[in-house]
Amino acid sequence: MRKLFGLLPGPAPVRVLIMIVLSVVLLVALGFLFESAGDLLDNGGTIG
């Protein structure tokens, strides 16, 4: 995390903002991934 923070451009507040945006994007992507993978376990049992 520190390495990544160090690699980001701009002053500290901009880096913090970028980190927050990246975290949100990562969480949304994870949620999407988990939902899609979850369909393999159980997609609600619908027919057709």
Partner 1 sequence: MDSQVAEAEDLLPDPKALNGPAKSMRFVRGAGWTMIGAGTLIIAFLAYQLLFTNLLNSRSQNRAETALEQKFEEARVAPLEPVVLTPTSPPSTVVKEDQEPVPVTTPISFYEEASPELGTAFGRIVIPKIDLDVVIFEGVERNTLKQGPGHMPWTPLPGQAGNAVVSGHRTTYGAPFYDLDVMEPGDEIFVETVIGESTYVVREILIVKPTDVWVTDNRPGAWLTLTTCNPRFSARERLIIVAEMVDGPNFEYAQALLDGVIDVVGS
Residue 16-45 contact track with partner 1, rule CB under 8 A, x = bound: --------------xx--x--xxxxxxxxx
What is the C-alpha radius of gyration for the chain, rounded to an integer number of angstroms? 17
46 binds partner 1, rule: CB under 8 A: yes
Residue 24 or 30 having the CB closest to partner 1: 30
1 binds partner 1, rule: CB under 8 A: no
DSSP string computed for 1-48: -HHHHHHS-S-HHHHHHHHHHHHHHHHHHHHHHHHHHHHHH-------
Residues at the contact surface with partner 1, assessed by CB under 8 A: 30-31, 34, 37-48
